[in-house]
Chain A
Amino acid sequence: MKMKKVLSVVLAAAMVAGLAVGCGGSKKSAESDKGSVYYLNFKPEVAEVWENIAAKYTEETGVEVKVKTAASNQYEQTLKSEIAKSEAPTLFQINGPTGYNAWKDYCADLSDSEIYGMLLDQDLAIKDGDGVYGIPYLEEGYGIIYNQEIMDKYFALDGAKAASMDEINSFDKLKEVSEDMTAKKDQLGIEGVFASTSFAPGEDWRWQTHLMNLPIHYEYEDADVTDEDEISFKYSDNFKNIFDLYLNNSCTEPSMVGSKSVDDSMSEFALGKVAMVQNGNWAWGQISQVDGNVVTEDHIKFLPIYTGMDDEESQGICIGTENYFSVNSEASEADQKASLDFVKWVFSSEEGKKMVTNDLGFITPFNTFSEEESPADPLAKEVIRYMSDKDLSSVSWDFQTFPSQTFKDNYGAALLQYATGSEKWDQVVEDTVADWKAEKEMAAE
């Protein structure tokens, strides 16, 4: 009896102790006046690189840098829970003006920071009044990626509608060529001109965000504004032009696009089943890692997304960023300073710059990088080529001002309905205009 009593007490005590250990144990090492950095990284594909950079920095300066990476598409969710903790990220990123709106309570003013001074074009930063709250740290571009090998094969055919890529500089020409290629797809050994218009759940961002950017960009340009509470979607026909072209000249029937993911599209392209796919320079990593990839580094190029606008011969690819560094204003002074020093080191020291260009493969918007210090990846080179071409004007990433994720999701859903033939285009346009207004109002509340 006595024995049992003792045993039960011991057992219970062990359980309680176990619980206590489980909850504690994360005591922070003594706060040093150097501060420490906690960076919440957005890009899972370079998670390891950021960890190496952090380790290197700690080795050199003794300042502790912790890097945590959010899973793909989970950044906002992760940030929401991380930032509420007592050891919150000191350095995080926002995705543009809409992101700033959500996080403004946490964004410190960076107008006096050295990293802001390093920007080539300070207008790119996220500003609010006199303050600067987000610093862009890389530039990316997207357009229609094409496989030069297949195109050359086409140009060599009798009766080809064009002799080289240079001739394709408008929507009409692109349409003529793609339709002819579709007709001759057996001769070319392809299944379609364009890769699948992916519409599996969560896989529609190339259309509802990236492609939608073009008509909205031109609408803003006409009105000479950078954001609007209401749109007329006056270039909806231009969107329909290119969207129809993608659907009708694809390797996948329009009725089946609901089951395709971005990965599917990229592997169709990598395996040489299709000649073109709309995506950005980040896609090279994905393409080159597909088993049986036949697209070589010197045969992968960008074509601007033509939609049938006037004078589109001078239109370039879409270049911009949705990656802005912000420093957590709730963090201690020392941590905030440490974060800024870390960022400055990454983008201006020899060591840091080397890792940025070679390992991260970023095209940076900072004046500390010389022309030679640019990434070797073929699509990044293409982006640089388009950026430096003075005859072309790039399309900026105006999708940053889209009202909300819900707006994009609704629009994507409507596009899928249109693609499968269960909704008329006029209905899509009407709903989208109404939804934009409604979502802008809700976000403003």
Chain B
Amino acid sequence: MEKAYKKYFWLFVLPTLIAFTLFFVIPFLMGIVLSFCKFTTVTNAHFVGLSNYIKAFSNKDFLNALWFTTKFTVVAVLTVNVFAFILAYALTRGIKGTNLFRTTFFMPNLIGGIVLGYIWQLIINGVLAKFGVTITADPKYGFWGMVILMNWQLIGYMMIIYIAGIQNIPTELVEAAKIDGASKLQALFKVTIPMVMSSITICLFLTLTNSFKLFDQNYALTAGGPAKKTSMLALDIYSTFYGRNGWEGVGQAKAVIFFVLVGILALTQLYFTRRKEVES
């Protein structure tokens, strides 16, 4: 059997490999090449060296977007994970209606980002109308609007992962702790959390990258308003690419920088949380 798998390995891998190469590897490499070019369409590019990168770094919109994205990511990652964990913890206590709650909390995750953005724009504008303002009146409304939206969307998904983690903890560990006289809080911090460290790794990774790469929700909720102050990195790349003739290459350069940033961030986080994982 083992041998058969090895023999036909390439056959099974081939379809995915072709798709991956065609739709990911090739565009990705082209993207890197294009970031050194000035172009209107991908077929009439000509080389301009590093000038796109220089423009990207001297562009204050980009730096503002970077700072805004960082702030947003920190807040979103913390809130999403804390709330998701609390929910997961509560819903593994065997309360009545647990399944209904789990389903309901998970549901927002099934709706696309653009739709969510527009729905929340209506809701938030509806609430703010009581105070005679709109979401684009002040960047802080947009910021917290996005944090709320992101929480609403991601908590359910992360909750499911935490629930799986909590359910995987061997009951004898919890019981042993109880017998040894550990309080509920002690059991939580000394047994449960260390035991779900692998879930925490995954959830942190997912929330971190999702928040950092956020585009749809940002585009639909505020479109960067007021005056680009709530524009995140992905949206800034988009508006650079389409906002000015001849700046497509700069948008592309920003995208490459963006890729490197997300990569560094995600790998560092993985490295640090992995070290905390324990074997049961």
Contacts and interface: CB of A to CB of B under 8 A. Distances in A.
B8 A12 contact: yes
B41 A253 contact: no
B116 to A, nearest CB: 15
Given A77-B242, A406-B243, 9 more contacts: A80-B41, A83-B41, A98-B245, A106-B40, A258-B137, A406-B239, A413-B225, A420-B137, A442-B244
A255 B133 contact: yes
B135 A258 contact: yes
A98 B245 CA distance: 8
B11 A9 contact: yes
B121 to A, nearest CB: 8
Contacts of A77: 242
Interface in B215-262: 222-228, 239, 242-247
Given A413-B228, A417-B227, A443-B245, A255 B222 contact: no
B189 interface: no
Interface residues of B, number: 36
Interface of B is mostly: loop
A12 B14 contact: yes
Interface of A is mostly: helix
B202 to A, nearest CB: 29
Interface in A47-92: 76-77, 80-81, 83-84
Contact of A199 (B14, B136, B243): B136
Contacts of A253: 132
A410 B239 contact: no
Interface of A: 1, 4-5, 8-9, 12-13, 15-16, 18-19, 76-77, 80-81, 83-84, 98, 101-103, 105-106, 199, 201-202, 253, 255-259, 404-406, 409-410, 413-414, 416-417, 420, 422, 439, 442-443, 445
Given A76-B242, A413-B226, A422-B137, A259 B42 contact: no
A256 B245 contact: no
A135 to B, nearest CB: 21
A360 to B, nearest CB: 28
A19 B18 contact: yes
A306 to B, nearest CB: 29
B247 A442 contact: yes
B273 interface: no
A45 B168 CA distance: 57
Interface string B94-134: 00000000000000000000000000000001000100111
13 contacts: A4-B4, A8-B12, A80-B41, A105-B44, A256-B132, A256-B133, A256-B134, A258-B135, A258-B225, A404-B245, A413-B227, A420-B137, A442-B246
A102 B15 contact: no
B43 interface: yes
B179 interface: no
B225 to A, nearest CB: 6
Interface in B24-63: 40-44
B245 A101 contact: yes
Contacts of B247: 442
B19 interface: yes
A413 B229 CA distance: 10
